[in-house]
Every structure is written in C-alpha cells, then in structure tokens.
Amino acid sequence: MSSRLLIVVFGSMLLLISFLACSSKDAVVPESVAPTATTIPVPVPIKSSDPTATPPEPTVAPVATKVPPTSKPSAPTATPEPTATSEPTATPEPTVTSEPTATPKPLTRVYDVYGFTLELDQDSTFATSNFNVVGVTETDPDSTQGLMSFNYNGTDVVILWRPQNSDTPQDSIAFAYVLQQLGNPDLTFTLLSEGDLTVDGDAGMYTGFLSTDSSGDNAIGGIIGAWACADSSTQLSMTATGSDSTALQIRFDRLISGFSCD
C-alpha cells in the first residue's frame, strides 16, 4: 500500500512540473521603462468667487460702561388736602299724578252717559237747561249711583239712580218725597193721587203731591215716578215740579216716553 501511495505522489509531482514549464513559456517579461519625473503641483491661492463677500469684522475692544452719578433725592411731594364733600341733595318725592279727567260730552237734547238715555223735545237741549249731575254715595256719579237736575221748559226735574237691591218703586217714591221735604223745610207738602206706569217696558208707579208756603199760597205741583232697569239692576226715580199743572203733566209724560235703559 505504501508503494501505491508513492506512485500517486510521484505522478502528482510530474503533473506539477509540466504545468510550471508551460507557464514559463507563455510569460512575457516586461521591458524596463525609465521612471518619469513626477511634477509636484504648486499650490495656487483660491480666489473667492463671491466678490461681495464681507471680510470678517475686527474684534471690537470692550468699552468701559460709565456709571451715572447718583441723583440727589427729590423733595417729597406735598399731600393735597382732602376736598370737602358736599352734602347729598335730597331727592324730591315723586309727584302723584292724578287720573286724567274725562272730557264731558257736549250737551245736546239727548243724554246717555250713566247706563240710561234721556231725550228731550226737538226744540230743547240740555245745554241751556241749567244741567247738573253729582254723585250720591260717591264723590262722582257713575252707572250705579248719581243725581241729575235740570230745567225742562219751566219744569224743574230731578232724576235719582242707585242700586236696586230689594227696593220697590214704592220705596223709591217715598225716598224721593222725603228729599223734597228736606230740601224745602219752609213748605207744606200734601200727597195726592198715585197710579201705575210703564217705562221702557218696565213696570213702575207714580204719585202726585202739592206744596204751599206757610199761608197756603204759592202752590207748586209735583209728580214722582219710580221704576227699575232690570238689566243693570238700577232703581230710578224722577221728580218733576212746576206751578203750571198742565205743563207739568206734559213735561213729565214727555220725559217718561223719552227714557230708555241701556
């Protein structure tokens, strides 16, 4: 076995020698070339491409800071004296504004203010009748109470209205008759006939009376009518007086026919 190994090694060496021999034949020996002198470049200063380049500023030496002289303390400012405060002005109390007074309607021959309408003759007017109206249970009249007086072609007329409550026409006639007596204490009164009447569809009553002075003269006749307005629950009485019994009866009838409940 060692002889086989020797053969293999020997063969390998022959192959190696043959390979080297072939390689030496093909190799080219380069010609010797004279060395070329190497030029050493001279450094050239590089000019700046920016002509406007600003050269660096020189270092400025620090400047000594001057210390300002210490100012003298100023004199203290005088404190102003306090201004005297004036006493506050008292606020006046607001004035109470009274309710505006209603402008009265012009007087014509028709009066329709307090829940009823009263109409006179064509040739008569309340404007020339010494017309007056006041309150009875209140200072001013309204639709529930009041007293109206005027002169109707020689006949004095008084109309009283108030809440009906439980009063009857007889009660209203009695109340109006007492008012006549109290208003004329020097006269003597005498009741006359009585009867029924109708006012604007409502039933009522009337009573006649006569008044004279202490000697029995200067007789004045009177008629009192009383009725109620059912819708307003108002009780009314009308007293008409005059020295002419015929004119008195005509004026009374005319007022009854010209009355209506509103």
Question: What CATH code is carried by the domain that includes residue 230?
Answer: 3.40.1000.10
What pLDDT sits at residue 4? 60
Mean per-residue pLDDT for 188-204? Answer: 94
- Asked whether residue 61 is assigned to any structural domain, the reply reads no
Mean per-residue pLDDT for 93-105? Answer: 63
Using the predicted structure, report yes or no on whether residue 217 has a pLDDT greater than 70: yes
What pLDDT sits at residue 29? 42
- Asked whether residue 210 is assigned to any structural domain, the reply reads yes
- Asked whether residue 77 is assigned to any structural domain, the reply reads no
- Asked whether residue 119 is assigned to any structural domain, the reply reads yes
222: nearest Cα among 169, 147, 156: 156
Mean pLDDT check: name the lowest of 23-27, 53-57, 159-163.
23-27
Strand 259-261 vs strand 116-119: parallel, antiparallel, or unpaired?
A: antiparallel
Q: Domain range spanning residue 231?
A: 110-261
Round the CA-based radius of gyration of the chain to a whole number and report it: 71
Tokens describing residue 225:
């009518």
- The predicted model scores a pTM of 0.60
Task: Report the SS3 class of residue 73.
Answer: coil
What pLDDT sits at residue 102? 54
170: nearest Cα among 139, 137, 203: 203
What pLDDT sits at residue 114? 94
Residue 253 CB burial class (10 angstroms; 0-12, 13-18, ≥19) = middle
- Please give the share of the chain, as a percent, with pLDDT higher than 90: 53
Half-sphere CA count of 62, side-chain side, radius 13 A: 3
- Asked whether residue 5 is assigned to any structural domain, the reply reads no
- Asked whether residue 161 is assigned to any structural domain, the reply reads yes
- Asked whether residue 122 is assigned to any structural domain, the reply reads yes
How would residue 258 be classed by pLDDT, with cut points 50, 70 and 90?
A: very high
Tell me which DSSP letter residue 128 carries: G
The number of domains in the chain is 1
Half-sphere CA count of 114, side-chain side, radius 13 A: 23
Burial 172-201 (b: 16+ CB within 10 A, else e): bbbbbbebbeeeeeebeeeeeeeeebebbe
Task: Report the SS3 class of residue 12.
Answer: helix
Contact 238, 255 (CB under 8 A): yes
Residues in the chain: 262
Mean per-residue pLDDT for 106-112? Answer: 90
Amino acid at 65: T
How would residue 262 be classed by pLDDT, with cut points 50, 70 and 90?
A: confident
**Which residue has tokens 């014509």?**
108
Measured CA to CA, the distance from residue 155 to residue 241 in angstroms comes to 6
Mean pLDDT check: name the lowest of 93-107, 140-154, 188-202.
93-107
Using the predicted structure, report yes or no on whether residue 50 has a pLDDT greater than 50: no
Mean pLDDT check: name the lowest of 14-28, 71-85, 164-178.
14-28
- Asked whether residue 178 is assigned to any structural domain, the reply reads yes
Measured CA to CA, the distance from residue 245 to residue 254 in angstroms comes to 14
